[in-house]
Amino acid sequence: MKDDQKLFDLFRDNEHKLHEYPSADAWRRLEQRLDAHRQRRRIFPLRPFSMAASLVLLIGLAGLFAWITQGIQKEDPAGSAHFVVLEDLPLPSGPDFYSQNLNAGRQYAQAALEEGNSQKRFRVNQSRQAPEPIKKPAPMAGETDDLVALEEVRESKIAADEPPAESYPAPVMKEKAMVEEAASSARSAPAMPFDWLIGTWRGNDQGSEIYEEWSYLNEGQLRGITYTMKGNKKKVVEESEIRNDNGVWNYVAPAQGYPPSNSYSLQSLDSDQAIFSNAVPDQPQQVILQRNGDREYSTILQYEAKTDSLVRIENQQAVRKMRRVGN
């Protein structure tokens, strides 16, 4: 705004100069500029002629180049030769021997299969006669009866049974017994229904990243450790167990809001989920391990009624989703 005001004041102060008559020097300078402008206007009509001359020169150069190229091709016809349609030459008839073989090949040629006709079927002609057994050559002159008998023994069918156990060395017998015992125990041992839990899992609980690590304590007991990571330090949050007590699988989990742990008995088990339950008041009535493929699973705490425990569960259900770490 200040600059505009200054400009306005400048025009107002010099308003009288706008009404003054120009001096002779000013008129002279103006006439010189007009004369220079008229001189440039006289030169301007030559520009279209120069453009036309340039275009004519370009066309002439292109024609000259084409004429030179055509002359080079005429001097070297091999370089500009075109394809010529060739005609097959008739072959002279060969000797009678070749013609006879050709006729025989045509006579016994296999007929082509007719496609698109359902009535034409391709059948294989097989002989129903049993192949004749290979005859044993007669003994040559000079062979004795003992040699013939020995040959018959060699050709007879001998069952390929293993040698008796007494023929094996003692270390081999011991190793063989250990292998058979391990194979027998593997066949008789029941399949562990929670093998898919073994490994490390990662999830999110109340906005913080948590980890679960499941491993075998013994043949019928698994332990799961839930922990968080802060830098390189591991902080254990809770521990859980799945164990077989007298043929019954139990899930032992920390109580919600209490130091002791609760035990949940297995009620249902299939390939997708395992349901454990108990009837402890103010605690989840069911713990559901739900398997979602090979790399994900969820732990669901199911409440059948409202609870007054320290941990309030909305909608009577808490879900913790975990994803496998690594392979």
Read off the CATH number of the domain in which 284 is found: 2.40.128
What pLDDT does residue 67 have?
92
Total domains in the chain come to 1
| Structural domain includes residue 219 | yes
Question: Could you report the per-residue pLDDT of 274-298, keeping only the tens digit for each?
Answer: 999 887 777 778 888 999 988 999 9
Which value, to the nearest 10 degrees, does the dihedral of the CA atoms of residues 173, 178, 184, 190 take?
180
Vertex 291: Cα angle to 260 and 259 (nearest 5) = 10
Domain-embedded: residue 54: no
Question: pLDDT band for position 313 (50/70/90)?
Answer: very low
Task: Supply the pLDDT for residue 78.
Answer: 57
Read off the pLDDT of each residue in 27-43 and give the average, rounded to a whole number.
Answer: 81
49-99 pLDDT tens trace: 888 999 999 999 999 999 998 887 777 655 555 556 677 766 655 555 556
70 SS3 class = helix
Q: How far apart are CA 327 and CA 325, in angstroms?
A: 7
Do the domain assignments include residue 137? no
pLDDT, tens digit, for every residue of 128-162? 555 566 666 665 655 555 555 556 656 654 444 44
Tens digits of residue pLDDT in 213-261? 999 888 888 999 999 988 888 888 888 899 998 888 999 877 554 445 7
Residue 112 reports pLDDT greater than 70: no
- 13, 104, 109 from 113: Cα distances, Å: 113, 21, 12
Position 239 in a domain:
yes
* DSSP letters for 26-51: HHHHHHHHHHHHHHHHHHTTHHHHHH
Kind of pairing, strands 261-269 and 248-254? antiparallel
Q: What was the pLDDT predicted at 242?
A: 92
Does a structural domain hold residue 231? yes
- Cβ atoms 195, 220 nearer than 8 A: no
Is residue 24 in some structural domain?
Answer: no
Whether 206 is covered by a domain: the verdict is yes
Calpha distance 278→303 (Å, rounded): 11
Query: pLDDT band at residue 185, thresholds of 50, 70 and 90?
Result: very low
Residue 8: pLDDT band (50, 70, 90) is confident
The residue that leads in pLDDT, 108 or 284, is 284
Please state, rounded to an integer, the average pLDDT across all residues of the chain: 73
- Which amino acid is it at 207? G
Query: How far is residue 150's CA from residue 59's CA, in Å, rounded to a whole number?
Result: 106
Which pTM value belongs to this model? 0.39
User: What pLDDT score was predicted for residue 314?
Assistant: 47
Domain span at residue 309 reads 195-324
Q: Is 268 exposed, middle or buried (0-12, 13-18, 19+ CB in 10 A)?
A: exposed
Work out the average pLDDT over 313-324.
Answer: 75
- Structure confidence at residue 170 as a pLDDT band (50, 70, 90): low
Whether residue 227 lies inside any domain: the answer is yes
